[in-house]
Amino acid sequence: MTSKFSPLTAVAMAAGSLAGGLIVPTVMSATSASAASTLCSKVSVAEVSSTLGVKVTKLTTVINGNVTVCWYKVGANPDAIFVRRQTRVNIGVFNLNRSSAKRQGEKPVTDKHFAPYSAYSTSLGSPTYGYTFSVAILKKSTELDIGAANSKLPKVEALAKKVLPLL
Query: Using one digit for the tens of pLDDT, what is the confidence trace for 117-167?
Result: 999 999 998 887 788 999 999 999 999 999 999 899 999 999 999 999 999
User: Is residue 6 over pLDDT 80?
Assistant: no
Output 36 or 65, whichever has higher pLDDT: 65
111 neighbors 67 (Cβ within 8 angstroms):
no
72 neighbors 86 (Cβ within 8 angstroms):
no
77 neighbors 12 (Cβ within 8 angstroms):
no
- What domain count does the chain have? 1
Query: Which pLDDT value is given to residue 77?
Result: 94
Residue 1 in domain: no
Q: What is the mean pLDDT of the chain?
A: 82
- How far out from the chain centre does Cα 71 lie? 9
Residue 11 in domain: yes
Average pLDDT (16-28) is 34
Percent of the chain with pLDDT over 70: 78
Quote the pTM value.
0.79
Residue 143 in domain: yes
Residue 2 in domain: no
Phi and psi angles of residue 127, each rounded to the nearest 5 degrees, phi first: -60, -35
